[in-house]
Amino acid sequence: MTTPCDVNKRREIVFHPTPPGQVDSALAFLSELPNLQAERTDVHLVEVSYCIQEYTLESIETALIRIGCHLEATLLIRLKRALYYYVERIQRENMALPEIHTKDYSMAHAEVWKSRPHGDHDDTPAEWRQYK
């Protein structure tokens, strides 16, 4: 069972210094999202608080990139970001039922199975397979 502290996250989003003014536009965008708090903590740093059942850091940063924000891409920041993405994805999977697959892959495998020879095939000549 998850406790409320497990599902509430506080993460930092680091913006690239250029273009100027992107942090203000990001704060304006984030303030319109329900159940998400965002505050500026430094010149290029925004701290967001959210519930993992509604948002993930990956979805928030993807939305910021789509509106034209440029995030910092140093090695340490990218490693942290990848770790947060992974942890939140696994936590969401553990909290809910597995995803329902929308595509039916069984027919694709059946078509391949029909076109390939299958069964017990051995290229060894019959006289070599018999012990005499």
125 part of a folded domain: no
The CATH number assigned to the domain holding 14 equals: 3.30.70.100
* Residue 60 structural domain: 4-95
24 part of a folded domain: yes
Question: pLDDT digits over 45-89, tens only?
Answer: 999 999 988 899 999 999 999 999 999 999 999 999 999 999 988
Contact 73, 65 (CB under 8 A): no
Structure tokens, 113: 């199975």
17 part of a folded domain: yes
Question: pLDDT digits over 9-40, tens only?
Answer: 999 999 999 888 999 999 999 999 999 999 99
- Of 110 and 126, more confident: 126
88 part of a folded domain: yes
Does this model's pTM top 0.95? My answer is no
- Of 122 and 36, more confident: 36
Contact 10, 48 (CB under 8 A): yes
* Count of domains observed in the chain: 1
